């Protein structure tokens, strides 16, 4: 029932990383608010809540398997960006990093024959494909519009329609 110590440690680390991810996106939301881009901020607020839910998936998995749950401190997140593209590029790069970490955990879970962990991680593998695609789509749009403020405002309105699932 209890995962081995390697998987337990990896899941605790990722749980805390997901709490950081939530913190990161909330900090980005605050930055966008300060830039007068409430739609971008709304998108990031929804993303922050999703990341918190991801952390809780790891938390609940550990709890259900009677493993040690080690919630740590959340380090401060960056709060300054050059522009909207810089912020979204940072978000995309971060999602690519998260995907690599999920893949490492999947490799470990398969090697340890921890099929309960594999099932949880399968969900995250699929989720990361979606996370990267969503974030990259905004990056590509921001690259296309360049310095056009009218287009930036259009994207802002569009992103403001994002709601929690």
pLDDT, residue 3, reads 77
Residue 34 within any structural domain of the chain:
yes
Inside any domain, residue 73: yes
* 12 and 68 Cβ atoms separated by less than 8 Å: yes
Dihedral of the alpha carbons of 99, 101, 106, 111, in degrees to the nearest 10:
150
Write the CATH number for 54.
Answer: 1.20.1260.10
Cα dist. 53→28, 88, 127, 156, 157 in Å? 18, 21, 12, 25, 25
Look up the domain containing 58 and give its range.
5-159
Distances (CA, A) of 91 to 9, 64, 119: 25, 31, 26
| Predicted pLDDT of residue 138 | 98
Q: Establish if 147 belongs to a structural domain.
A: yes
Q: Is residue 164 part of a domain?
A: no
How much is the pLDDT for 1?
A: 64
The reply to whether 165 falls in a domain is no
Mean pLDDT by 10 residues, the chain (165 residues): 88 97 98 98 98 98 96 95 97 98 98 96 98 98 94 96 85
Within a domain: residue 48?
yes
Dihedral, 56, 87, 92, 22 alpha carbons, nearest 10: 0
pLDDT value, residue 106: 98
Among 137, 82, 127, 134, smallest CA distance to 106 is for 127
- Total structural domains in the chain? 1
Q: What is the pLDDT of residue 164?
A: 80
């Amino acid at each position: 029932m209890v995962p081995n110590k390697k998987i337990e440690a990896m899941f605790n680390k990722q749980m805390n990383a997901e709490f950081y991810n939530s913190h990161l996106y909330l900090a980005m939301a605050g930055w966008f608010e300060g830039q007068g881009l409430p739609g971008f901020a709304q998108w990031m607020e929804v993303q922050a809540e999703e990341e918190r839910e991801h952390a809780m998936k790891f938390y609940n998995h550990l709890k259900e398997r009677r493993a040690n749950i080690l919630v740590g401190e959340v380090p401060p997140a960056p709060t300054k960006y050059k522009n909207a593209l810089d912020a979204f590029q940072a978000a995309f790069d971060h999602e690519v990093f998260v995907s690599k970490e999920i893949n490492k955990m999947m490799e470990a879970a398969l090697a340890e024959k921890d099929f309960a962990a594999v099932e949880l991680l399968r969900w995250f593998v699929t989720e990361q494909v979606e996370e990267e695609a969503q974030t990259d789509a905004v990056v590509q749009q921001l690259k296309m519009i360049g310095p056009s403020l009218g287009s930036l405002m259009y994207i802002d309105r569009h992103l403001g329609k994002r709601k929690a699932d």
